[in-house]
Amino acid sequence: MAYDKSEYARKRISAEGAAALVQSGSWLDYGFGLGQPDRFDAALAARAGELRDVRIRACLSMRPRAVLEQNPESRAFTFLSWHFSGYERRIHDAGKLAYIPFNFGEGPDLYRRFLRDEVDVACLKVAPIDEQGCFNFSAVTTYLRAVCDVARRIIVEVDPALPVVSGSETGIHLSEVDGIIDEGGSGALPELPNPPPSDVDRQVAVFVTSLIEDGACLQVGVGAMPNAVCSELARSGLRDLGVHTEMMVDGIVDLYESGAVTGIHKSIDRGKLAYTFAAGSRRLYDFLDRSPVCVAHPVDYTNLPDRIARNDKVFSINNTTQMDLQGQACSETAGFRHLTGTGGQLQFVRGAYASRGGRSVICLSSTYERGETPVSRIVATLTPGNVVTTPRSDVMYVVSEYGIACLKGRSVPERARALIGIAHPRFRESLEREAREKGILPRGFF
């Protein structure tokens, strides 16, 4: 049924008019990634001199936020993020942003159960209205439907450049919207660069690929290393792979176009590539636009372990930045400095374990550079302040460029020995010595 065009006309509002709805002390929600507003953001920032203590939640900001580009002494806006982008990390380092800890798949429930009285205005970027009167959330389905369910006022900022996606809970109807910002042209969508894989990334990818079987259902994280895994899989000869992931990345597009992905063995979304958000190149966004093979779902559908486990042979691939000799994976901080977020790592590790024939892999390069000095990512003692993302009891496979360690069913001394074996050779002797000094490798063991 066609929508009421007069209702659309009544609800049109300028960015300045929408920003005028915000009062001091209000709670706002900017949504996620590609779906964060730009024109509203600029208009709201222009009111910094007259507002105080406006709190804004967002996630994975892919371009600068005008409300953050303020005088550091301004008390107008407080910005809170569910997961840091590189931009948000820099703003956090400057003391102008705070992280909200959560497991990504809990997002819809968090809004509906804990934040239902804390969204005064939601402003979300959407694709143009369709013939049924719906605005599509585009490739950031995540928890946006839940935000709309609890928001007192909903403003949509229309952007024709956004890809239109199909799936579940992918949009909002005109009747639910309080204001429509549709003036102004559309700029280019923000893109997430794909760093070229290093020799270390490629070697890790070879080891990871050796653990994957035909018909496996993949979850792939972000970064050069997971993209290298996709490239290696495309060359591996593996067939009939499936995709059930939180993030759609360019590497998955490459893998699909190689013919390795069919999804015919999946139990849910059979034959489809399932995801909850995308961030990458324009090529990725074009691939998703009205795609007959991709399906977007809310994040509680993609990320809750019981849902993940409905597919057999789930294979989860994620990165970490530090791991101790007991197998604790620290993937979101560097000491007390926050880097990213918990995201879906823990939920996919647990979902893969619960899947029949499932496996999870935590990848890491054995070292990183501090100045010109190499530092081991595998350590006897975690850096003070480091947050454990995946507990030792959940970690299954760990892969570095030096090999594979399976930690399931292993004692603490066995874990330490296995992880020392995939550490960089220059650090193995010192790791073993420290492990013995701390009692992780007791005398008489190994």
Q: Which residues are catalytic?
A: 246
The CB-side HSE value for 51 (13 A sphere, CA atoms) comes to: 24
User: Around Cβ 312, how many Cβ atoms within 10 Å?
Assistant: 16
- The residue with tokens 């007991």 is 326
Q: Count of CB atoms within 10 A of residue 232's CB?
A: 24
Residue 237: how many other CB atoms lie within 10 Å: 8
- Contact (Cβ atoms closer than 8 angstroms) between residue 9 and residue 33: no
Q: What is the total residue count of the chain?
A: 446
Pairing of β 273-275 and β 294-296:
parallel
| Residue type (1 letter), 377 | R
Contact 84, 338 (CB under 8 A): yes
Give, for 400, the enclosing helix (H) or strand (E). strand 397-400
Which residues in 36-52 are b (16+ Cβ under 10 Å) and which e? bbbbbbbbbbebbeebe
Pair type for strands 153-158 and 121-126: parallel
Question: What is the three-state SS of 214-239?
Answer: CCCEEEECCCHHHHHHHHHHHHHCCC
Contact 143, 108 (CB under 8 A): yes
Taking the CA atoms of residue 70, residue 72, residue 74 and residue 78 in that order, the dihedral angle to the nearest 10 degrees is 80
Nearest to 165 by CA among 302, 288, 36: 288
Scored b (16 or more CB within 10 A) or e, 345-372 reads bbbbbbbbbebeebbbbbbbbbbeeeee
